[in-house]
Amino acid sequence: MTKTLLIVFHSMTGGTRQMAEAAAGGAAREPSVATRLLRAPDAGPTDVLAADGFILATPENLAAMSGMMKDFFDRTYYLTLDRIQGRPYASLICAGSDGHGAARQIVRIATGWRLRAIAEPLIVCTHAQTPEAILAAKIIGAADLARCADVGEALAAGMAMGVF
């Protein structure tokens, strides 16, 4: 029986998209796990219920997750509550300086869903501090993309082995 890993992301400047795609690439190394990569506006309760595990990826905007990720949670949380508990998840944060505010928000939501974290939130800091740098297209370095791929691969492998 194939398991499904759902990767939900939002990205305005491309950084978080690159991270989510790298995680999907890592997960694809596990042939017995199907990976679905969806933009936050395109993901809904049916997608959440059909998934056996999750990677949640967001930029940090104003010390919080992006509004589109918040919208995803607003549209799916109560419709899936008490129906996905125990499923594994990991989170990826693309931040200009810190990332911990967005990470805390995702942890709180995942705790409410009673999901099981398989890793600490992975935060990639772009050091974008000026309005121009914050709004500019991002290029995530190879080492950070490799870390994202490792998260995807580890989650998919654990799902395939029944570890989580």
Strands (E), the chain: 3-9, 33-39, 53-61, 64-65, 88-95, 116-117, 122-125
From the list 45, 43, 44, 25, the residue with the least C-alpha distance to 35 is: 25
- pLDDT tens, position by position, 124-155: 999 999 999 999 999 999 999 999 999 999 99
pTM for the full predicted model = 0.97
Asked whether the beta carbons of 54 and 26 are under 8 A apart, the reply is no
- pLDDT tens, position by position, 23-78: 999 999 999 999 999 999 999 999 999 999 999 999 999 999 999 999 999 999 99
Helix/strand/coil percent split, the chain, to 5: 45, 25, 30
From the list 110, 102, 96, the residue with the least C-alpha distance to 68 is: 102
In this prediction, residue 65 carries a pLDDT of 98
In this prediction, residue 120 carries a pLDDT of 97
* Structure token pair of residue 21: 């795609």
Give the H/E segment covering residue 160: helix 142-161
Q: Per CATH, the architecture of 3-161 is what?
A: 3-Layer(aba) Sandwich (3.40)
Q: What is the residue type of 72? A: F
In this prediction, residue 10 carries a pLDDT of 98
